[in-house]
Structure 1
Amino acid sequence: MDVFEVVADDVRRDLLLALRRGALTAGELARTRSDVSRPAVSRHLRVLREAGVVQSVVDGRRRVYSLRPDALAPLATFLAALTPPAPPVPARALDGLDLEVRRTTRERRTAHGAAQQEESA
């Protein structure tokens, strides 16, 4: 199952959103969706784990799940392609910035030259 199929399910999306705040146990994740049974949450977690979107570590009798954001990169790339590019900034909007940069550069040169004159005196 690819990342697109994984996030197509609303329960799995909710589990991923819960994991973005940090690692959680299966029981803690089951409490995020009280309308879904614990066995169903476990099945969803298995799908997420097999798709590589989450990883799990056994800690005693508990299994702790954490998000693997890098596995969501194909989805992020696809969504970024759907986002229209920002409109170009008109050149005249940057005129003020150019003027400020030139003024600051000139002030720094003047201050630097004055400091060198004081040192040599």
Structure 2
Amino acid sequence: MTDCLFCNIIKGKIPSNLIYEDERVIAFEDINPQAPVHFLVIPKEHIESAAYIDENNKNLMGHILFVVSKIAKSRGLEEGYRIVNNCGINGGQTVEHIHFHVLGERKMLWPPG
């Protein structure tokens, strides 16, 4: 997908504050942080949303959570953090490329606020 914001970040066409990369995913700082620590983890493979997870990419989702945990530990988030995935327009998704927000270093409320 050529007009996907996150695909263009992956390709290096749009700059980001990259904090992690491997052959399957990248992670970068959120441009509008909602917590002292706020980064995104996204797959390099274009998957529109969680609604499009299937047999072919289900193992990639486990890898994403592994990377979230690895980065959270390296950032000292032992007291906890929140992982957010919005799915579809009604779920609040604004970029049609599956991504996971990781927020930490502040007390999270439930419901969110």
Name the TM-score, length of structure 2 as normaliser: 0.24
**Higher strand share goes to which structure?**
2
**Higher helix share goes to which structure?**
1
If asked which structure has higher relative contact order (CA below 8 Å, sep 6+), I would say 2
Name the TM-score, length of structure 1 as normaliser: 0.23
Which has the higher Rg, Structure 1 or Structure 2? 1
